[in-house]
Amino acid sequence: MLSPRRAFRLRRATLINLFWVPLSLQDAAVMAIAVPAKLLQLSPLNYRRDLAIIASIVALAAMVVPAVAGAFSDWLRRRGVDRRGLILAGALVDAPALCLCGLTHSMTTFIVLLVISTMAFNVSIAAYQAVIPDVVPRQSWGLVSGVRGAAALIGTIIGLAIAGTTSPQIAFLAIGILIGAGVLTLLWLDEQPVSDEEALARVKDWHDFILVFIARGCVVFGLTILTTFVLYFFRDVLHNANPSGGTGLVAGCSVFGALLSSVWLGIISDRAPRKLVAALSCVPMAIAGFGFALVPSESWILAFGGLFGIGFGGALSTGWALGLESVPQMRDVARDLGLWGIASNLPSVLAPLFGGWILARTGGSLEGYRLVFASAGVGFGLATIAILATRGAPLQPARR
C-alpha cells in the first residue's frame, strides 16, 4: 500500500499531467494514421511522396515555435502570470484547425490547416512542459515524469484506437474535440512554485544538455521513421486489407509494453543513476528496430512492437527527467526545453525525407522497408551511447 505522502504525490502528479492525454492523442494519431489515411483520399497516386513532404513541412513548422513560445512563457511567468493562459490559447486555435482538416477536400487547404494546428499545438506544449519543473521538487522528477509518460501513453492508445477504427474525417473531428475538452483540466491545476533557490538553480555547463539533445534527436529519428511509413508497409508489403487497423494494432502492442515500464522506471530513476536507466531503455528499442528489418512478418512485428514499447516507456519517462536535469538554468526552463525540443522536430523533418528517398529508390519494395527499419535501430543505438556519455553536472548556487 502507498504511504499517504506517496499517495498525495501520485494524485498531484496525475493532476499536473492530465492534459498530456489529449496532447499525446493528437501527437500519436495525426501523423501516424489520420494524415496518411487522408492522403489516400486526396492524393491516391502520389501518397508516399506527398506524405514525406507534408511530414517534413509540419515538423519544420513545429521546430520554430517551441523556443519562441517557451521564452515568452518564461517572461510571463517571471512577471507573475502563470502558464495556463498560453496553454489555453494554443488549444483554442489547435482544436478547430484539426476539425477543419477532416472536412476539407483541398490539398492546399489541408496543408495550411495542418501547419496552423501544429504551430498552435506546439505553443501549448512549450508552456505546458515547463509546469513540472515549476511546481515539482527535483527529487520527484522521475516519479512525475513517469506519470507524464503514462498519461502520454494512455492518450496514444486512445488516439490510435480512434484513428485506426474510423475514417480520417471522423478522426480529425474527434481529436479536435478532445483537445478542446482536455484543456479544461487546467482549471483544477494550482501552480504553486517550488522555492526560488531551486527555481533559479543552474548547472555548471551545457555538456549534458548537448548530449541529451543528441540522444533525444536519435530516438525521435528512429521513432519518426518507423511511425511515418509503417502504415504503408502493411499496405505495400504485407498487403493488409486494413492498413490503418494493422498500424493501430502494432502501435497498441508498443503502447501496452510502454505502460508496463513508464511509471515503474520513472520511480526507479529517482533512486538509481538516471542516465543508466535511460540508456538501458533504448536497448530494446534498438533490438526491435533491427527485428522489424530482419523478420518483416505481421506476427513478429507485433512481438517486436511490444519489446519496443517496454523500452519506449522508460525512454519517455526517464529521458524526460534527464532532459529536465540538463537544462542550464531553471529560470529559462520553457525556452531551453523549447530548444531541446528542436531535437524532436529536426529529426521529424529529416526522417520522412530520408525514408521517402529510400522507398522511392527501391520502389516501395521489402528491401526498402528493411533499410528504413534498420536505420531506426541505428538511431536508438546511437542514443544509448550519447546518454552514457553524460556526466551529471552538479547544481550551482541560485543566480538571479
**pLDDT tens string 274-318:** 788 888 888 988 998 898 888 877 778 778 888 888 888 878 777
Average pLDDT over residues 11-34: 85
Q: Which residues pair with 329 in a beta bridge?
A: 202
Query: Per-residue pLDDT tens for 57-112?
Result: 887 777 788 888 888 888 888 777 788 889 999 999 999 999 999 898 888 899 99
Q: Per-residue confidence at 191, pLDDT binned at 50, 70, 90?
A: low
Backbone angles phi, psi at 329, to 5 degrees: -150, 130
Identify the residue with better confidence: 247 or 300: 300
Helix (H) or strand (E) holding 310: helix 298-326
**Position 264: which residue type?**
W
Residue with the bigger pLDDT between 125 and 134: it is: 125
Backbone φ, ψ for residue 12 (5° rounding): -70, -40
CA nearest 149: which of 127, 132, 136, 165? 132
What is the predicted pLDDT for the residue at 8?
Answer: 44
Residue 196's pLDDT band (boundaries 50, 70, 90)?
very low
Please list, residue by residue across 195-208, b when 16 or more beta carbons sit within 10 angstroms of its beta carbon and e when fewer do.
eeeebebbbeeebb
Task: Report the largest interatomic distance among the alpha carbons of the chain, rounded to a whole angstrom.
Answer: 61
Q: Which CATH superfamily is domain 12-395 in?
A: MFS general substrate transporter like domains (1.20.1250.20)
Q: Give the pLDDT band of residue 121 (cuts 50, 70, 90).
A: very high
Give the H or E element holding residue 395. strand 395-396
Among the ranges given (36-50, 166-180, 266-280), the one the predictor scored with the smallest mean pLDDT: 266-280
Q: Where are the domains of the chain?
A: 12-395
Angle at 147 (CA atoms; ends 146, 152), nearest 5 degrees = 95
In this predicted structure, what is the pLDDT of residue 192? 59
Q: What is the DSSP letter of 393?
A: P
Between 7-16, 162-171, 214-223, the lowest mean confidence (pLDDT) is in 7-16
| Contact by Cβ (8 Å): 203, 390 | no
CA distance 220 to 218: 6
pTM: 0.68
C-alpha cell at 137: 521538487
In our burial notation (b when 16+ CB lie closer than 10 A, e otherwise), range 15-52 reads: ebbbbbbbbbbbbbbbbbbbbbbbbbebbeeebbebbb
Cell of 197: 533557490
Torsion angle (degrees, nearest 10) of CA 166, 21, 175, 126: -140
* pLDDT tier at 201, thresholds 50, 70, 90: very low
Q: DSSP secondary structure string, 68-84?
A: HHHHHHHHHHHTT--TH
The residue with cell 551545457 is 206
Decide if pLDDT at 247 tops 50. yes
pLDDT band at 241 (very low <50, low <70, confident <90, very high): low
Question: Is 372's pLDDT higher than 70?
Answer: yes
- Per-residue pLDDT, averaged over 312-338, amounts to 73
Cβ count near 339 (within 10 Å)? 17
Query: How many C-beta atoms surround the C-beta of residue 328 within 10 A?
Result: 19
Confidence of residue 398 (pLDDT cuts 50, 70, 90): very low
